[in-house]
A and B are shown apart, each in its own frame.
Chain A
Amino acid sequence: LAKTTQPISMDSYEGQEVNITCSHNNIATNDYITWYQQFPSQGPRFIIQGYKTKVTNEVASLFIPADRKSSTLSLPRVSLSDTAVYYCLVAAAGNNRKLIWGLGTSLAVNP
Chain B
Amino acid sequence: SAVISQKPSRDICQRGTSLTIQCQVDSQVTMMFWYRQQPGQSLTLIATANQGSEATYESGFVIDKFPISRPNLTFSTLTVSNMSPEDSSIYLCSVEDPGSPTLEAFFGQGTRLTVV
User: Which residues from A are CB-within-8-Å of B48?
Assistant: 98
Q: Which of A19-27, A36-44, A63-71, A73-81 contacts B (4 or more CB under 8 A)?
A: A36-44
Say yes or no for B103: interface residue by CB 8 A criterion: yes
Beta-carbon contacts of A89-105 to B below 8 Å, as 1s and 0s? 00001010011111110
User: Which residues from A are CB-within-8-Å of B92?
Assistant: 43
User: Which residues from B are CB-within-8-Å of A101?
Assistant: 35, 42-44
Known contacts A102-B42, A103-B41, A103-B42; A45 and B107 CB within 8 A of each other: yes
A contact set with B: CB distance below 8 Å: 32, 34, 36, 41-46, 49, 87, 93, 95, 98-104
B contact set with A: CB distance below 8 Å: 4, 30-31, 33, 35, 41-45, 48, 90, 92, 94, 102-110, 112
Instruction: Tally the A-B contacts, defined by beta carbons under 8 Å.
Output: 50
Chain B nearest CB, measured from A39 CB (Å): 10
Q: How far is the CA of A32 from the CA of B104 in the complex (A)?
A: 11
Q: How far is the CA of A41 from the CA of B37 in the complex (A)?
A: 10
B42 touches A49 (CB 8 A): no
User: Which residues from B are CB-within-8-Å of A95?
Assistant: 30-31
Chain A nearest CB, measured from B70 CB (Å): 15
Closest chain A residue to B92, Cβ basis:
A43
User: Which residues from B are CB-within-8-Å of A41?
Assistant: 90, 109-110, 112
Q: A46-B105, A49-B104, A99-B45 are in contact. List 12 more A-B contacts (CB 8 A).
A: A34-B102, A41-B109, A43-B106, A43-B108, A43-B109, A95-B30, A95-B31, A98-B33, A98-B45, A99-B33, A103-B42, A104-B42
